[in-house]
Amino acid sequence: MELFTEKFLSDKLGISQQAISNALKLIPCESKKVEGSAKPVKHYKFDDLPDRYKEKLRELGVKLKDEIKENKTTNISKANFTKKYLLAHPDKQKLAITKCRLIDFYKKRNSTLNQKQWLEQTLKNDISFDILGKVSVKQLNDWIRKYKEAEDKGLNIVESFIDSRGAVKGVKALNEIQKETAERYFLRASRPRISEIYRNMCHTFGDAMPSYDALNNYFREWKRKNPVLFEFSKSPDSAKNKFLAAYGSADAKATYKNQYWELDSTPADVICDDGKRYTVLAAIDVFSRRVVFHVADTSSAYSISQLLRKAILKLGIPENVVIDNGRDYTSNHFETICTNLKINMNIVPPFSGDCKPHVERVFGTLARELFEQIPGYIGHSVAERKELQSRKSFADKIKAQEKWRKEQALKTDEEKKVFRDAWKIKKENIGLDLTILESADGLQSWIDNWVDKLYEQREHKGIKTKPINKWNSDSTPVESIPDIRMLDLLLGESVIRRVGKKGIAYDGCNYAHIDLVEFTGHHVYIMAGRDMGYVLVYDENMNPICIAEDLEHMGKDRYAVRGAKKKSQQLMRQMDKIIKEAQAIKDVTIMDRIDAVRDVIETKTVAVTKHTETVDRLLNDSIMFEEKDKKELETSNRYDFKQKDEEGKPTKILPSGRPTFNSYFDRFLWDLKNNMVDDTTKKLAAKYPDIWEMAEKEAKVG
């Protein structure tokens, strides 16, 4: 029992020690020696103190040793519950806790009342004890005894009051081996067929297999106890969406613009006028949510480099890119780009859309808002596509098929081989709106306008402001490349090639230069951009050598040539015309809203040069190459007598006799006007007769 001295009570209650002594004259006390006092000091029990003193001490937070012990023992919130409590029915748990509360309340009762009076008064005044029903004095004493026994043995007091009567819940007919077998069947199929599983298990266990109902009940019980595992067996993505913890904010890592970009690609839910379903690539700035889209045939290293080119010209160069581990993103080409521009690659595991949430969401927003209102929309899924098809009546489908068959009957065998418009009448396209289809360029245009006029100009829920305002509010300067031609080189391919006797063979071209002669047989490092006509050449120590040229391919788009080779294999499957008469669009669509927007917030971007080793070297090398051309021009003995300088003298030209051309058309036209048609020109003219014919017509007009 806790004892208090007069001095302690005086200091705690703020009453003079004399007043305390007078008030406690008639209260029994114990005299004990206290360190520092020559005489024994009076000590008073807490229970013997006046009620006003007790209440005041409790208000001041004075804890008695007995109360502290009781709290440690009976604090239900901190009880170390075991299987018995956790498996009990919630009603039994609540009943046990209420009995413990009643006993705790009894131990602190007013001693002026006997047990019966206290029990009647407590049950009458406190409705929280109604769950106990009518409690007799005998029951109360039994509970007190059970409470004290559990307390003395150090057992969990609440669990001592759990009613363990009744059957244990759960399916007991199946043994452990049968349960493990059933669970493997449950996990193998996204939608388990219990009847088939039961037949398989009957074949395995024979007469020892319980009834079908026992297996079905166990499946329900297992599904209830393992919701995450069951959902994951059906669909990992669905399980992540439903159960993956989503604490914190995914954009907390981005504190300024261009700190983090997320890159991804997805097939567009729209068929274009050539019958193809293109891929849409996206790069989104996590800080501001500004986004750039690029429409391409497929997701490849080249299409990603084109996306980066477009995004860098609009937003600048990012510090980090978050990508998945697909072959297009982990290719040598993409890694070289990131190395040249000093961009950190953050690669996330496969099927981890939650690691790139912002680009995933913007794809969904684009599809819901724009794609659903564009002709040629085919739905976000197979199920939605079937719903779109079902809107057309069966008669309309038959009519469309009959019309197509009649048109085919009038065509020649040669025309039929081309399968004109055949893709539109395919079974999977019947019933879809395939009128006024957009081209790939048209789709790109609508996406860009949607981004610039709608998406960036409205409040984004994630950042609570408009993306364009979020971007403009950050004064951090963006890093960029001032020269687009230099950017194309940095986004191009960087490879190592061996110098042969005819120069450098790469991508079907032969690049030559006088300075490469001494490097014959050696490996060199080249940077190849879009223009097939030239490459930058470096030695093994990355010292610049020259700009090697292939005049036959000067001005030709490297990637367009590759695409043409691939596309030529698909020409027989493409249609040669589209629907001639377009149906009038009466209702307002999102495209009308985009065209109607006039008040657009302009971008405020501060651009600075991105300084990396590759960029700085390229800047210095470009100056050196210009100086080398000047030296060649000074030593050249050739002149262009048709071009006069300010003094009226003919101007010098390079030893090759021709200027640099952007296309074959420019070269043909220059050769015709300057009577420079030689064997090389004739070979090119035979190879490209259409371009040669156009140049001849232009030369005659000129």
What pLDDT shows up at residue 626? 56
Q: Would strands 320-323 and 344-347 be described as parallel, antiparallel, or unpaired?
A: parallel
pLDDT digits (tens, 9 = 90+) for 211-250: 898 898 899 888 888 887 777 776 665 655 555 544 445 5
Find how far residue 685's CA is from the centre of its chain. Answer: 51
pLDDT range class, residue 50, cuts 50, 70, 90: confident
> Which residues make Cβ contacts (< 8 Å) with residue 24, sequence separation at least 6?
6, 42, 44, 49
β-sheet bridge partners, residue 511: 504
Report CA-CA distances (Å) from 15 to 40, 47, 657. 22, 19, 114
> Which residues make Cβ contacts (< 8 Å) with residue 582, sequence separation at least 6?
435, 436
Find how far residue 124's CA is from the centre of its chain. Answer: 60
What pLDDT shows up at residue 254? 85
pLDDT range class, residue 561, cuts 50, 70, 90: low
- Mapping DSSP to helix (H, G, I), strand (E, B) and coil, where does residue 607 land? strand
Q: What is the mean pLDDT of residues 359-368?
A: 90
- Mapping DSSP to helix (H, G, I), strand (E, B) and coil, where does residue 336 land? helix
**Helix intervals (H) in 154-211:** 157-160, 176-188, 194-205
β-sheet bridge partners, residue 524: 497
Q: What is the mean pLDDT of residues 18-24?
A: 82
pLDDT range class, residue 619, cuts 50, 70, 90: low
Cα angle at 110 between 105 and 115, to 5 degrees?
A: 75
Q: What is the mean pLDDT of residues 673-686?
A: 83
- Asked if residue 24 lies in contact with residue 86, where contact means CB atoms within 8 angstroms, the answer is no
Report CA-CA distances (Å) from 457 to 286, 311, 382, 453. 17, 18, 33, 6
Report CA-CA distances (Å) from 542 to 122, 299, 492, 534. 92, 31, 17, 18
- Mapping DSSP to helix (H, G, I), strand (E, B) and coil, where does residue 267 land? strand
421 closest CA partner among 403, 437, 404: 404
User: Which residue in the block uniquely carries the two structure tokens 């680009």?
Assistant: 359
β-sheet bridge partners, residue 531: 557
- Mapping DSSP to helix (H, G, I), strand (E, B) and coil, where does residue 47 land? coil
Task: Identify the top-confidence range among 170-179, 428-437, 515-524, 624-633.
Answer: 515-524
- Mapping DSSP to helix (H, G, I), strand (E, B) and coil, where does residue 534 land? strand
Q: Which residue has the higher pLDDT, 511 or 563?
A: 511
Q: Is the pLDDT of residue 9 over 60?
A: yes
Asked whether the whole model's pTM tops 0.75, one would answer: no
Where are any strands of DSSP class E within 388-475?
none
Q: Which residue has the higher pLDDT, 181 or 87?
A: 181
**In this structure, what token pair is assigned to residue 342?**
């000093």
What pLDDT shows up at residue 432? 53
CA-to-CA distance for 507 and 510, rounded, in angstroms? 8
What pLDDT shows up at residue 415? 59
- Among 445-459, 464-478, 526-540, 630-644, which is the least confidently predicted range? 630-644
What pLDDT shows up at residue 105? 83
> Which residues make Cβ contacts (< 8 Å) with residue 54, sequence separation at least 6?
46
Find how far residue 147's CA is from the centre of its chain. Answer: 56
> Which residues make Cβ contacts (< 8 Å) with residue 443, sequence separation at least 6?
268, 270, 272, 278, 295, 374
- Asked if residue 280 lies in contact with residue 363, where contact means CB atoms within 8 angstroms, the answer is yes
Q: Is the pLDDT of residue 113 over 50?
A: yes
Share of the chain above pLDDT 90, in %: 11
Q: Is the pLDDT of residue 70 over 60?
A: no
- Mapping DSSP to helix (H, G, I), strand (E, B) and coil, where does residue 141 land? helix
**In this structure, what token pair is assigned to residue 647?**
């003094």
533 closest CA partner among 384, 658, 661, 447: 661
pLDDT range class, residue 81, cuts 50, 70, 90: low
Counting other chains too, the contacts that 54-58 makes at CB distance below 8 Å and 24 or more residues apart are 56/13, 57/12, 57/13
Torsion of CA 309, 311, 315, 316, to 10 degrees: -30
Q: Which residue has the higher pLDDT, 634 or 118?
A: 118
> Which residues make Cβ contacts (< 8 Å) with residue 312, sequence separation at least 6?
480, 481, 487
Q: Which residue has the higher pLDDT, 637 or 283?
A: 283
CA-to-CA distance for 404 and 422, rounded, in angstroms? 8
CA-to-CA distance for 58 and 72, rounded, in angstroms? 18
What pLDDT shows up at residue 290? 95
Q: What is the DSSP letter of 438?
A: P
**In this structure, what token pair is assigned to residue 321?**
């890119």
As a residue count, the chain comes to: 702
What pLDDT shows up at residue 444? 92
What pLDDT shows up at residue 126? 77
CA-to-CA distance for 305 and 658, rounded, in angstroms? 32
The CA-to-CA distance between both ends of the chain, in Å, stands at 119
What pLDDT shows up at residue 395? 44
Tell me which H or E stretch contains 54: helix 51-59
pLDDT digits (tens, 9 = 90+) for 523-543: 988 888 777 888 888 887 778
Sign of CA dihedral 312, 315, 320, 326: negative
692 closest CA partner among 702, 682, 700: 682
CA-to-CA distance for 368 and 103, rounded, in angstroms? 62
pLDDT digits (tens, 9 = 90+) for 590-614: 676 677 777 777 777 777 767 777 6
Q: What is the DSSP letter of 164?
A: -
pLDDT digits (tens, 9 = 90+) for 446-461: 999 999 999 999 999 8
Tell me which H or E stretch contains 266: strand 260-267
> Which residues make Cβ contacts (< 8 Å) with residue 166, sequence separation at least 6?
none
CA-to-CA distance for 388 and 270, rounded, in angstroms? 13
CA-to-CA distance for 548 and 555, rounded, in angstroms? 14
CA-to-CA distance for 280 and 296, rounded, in angstroms? 6
On the CB side of 304, how many CA atoms lie within 13 Å of its CA?
A: 25
pLDDT range class, residue 400, cuts 50, 70, 90: low
Task: Identify the top-confidence range among 547-561, 605-619, 657-671.
Answer: 547-561
Q: What is the mean pLDDT of residues 330-339?
A: 80
- Mapping DSSP to helix (H, G, I), strand (E, B) and coil, where does residue 279 land? strand
**260-378+439-480 belongs to CATH 3.30.420.10:** yes
Torsion of CA 8, 13, 16, 22, to 10 degrees: -80
What pLDDT shows up at residue 582? 46
pLDDT digits (tens, 9 = 90+) for 176-193: 898 999 888 888 877 788
Q: Is the pLDDT of residue 472 over 90?
A: yes
Share of the chain above pLDDT 70, in %: 72
Q: What share of the chain is helix, strand, coil (3-state, %, to 5)?
A: 50, 15, 35
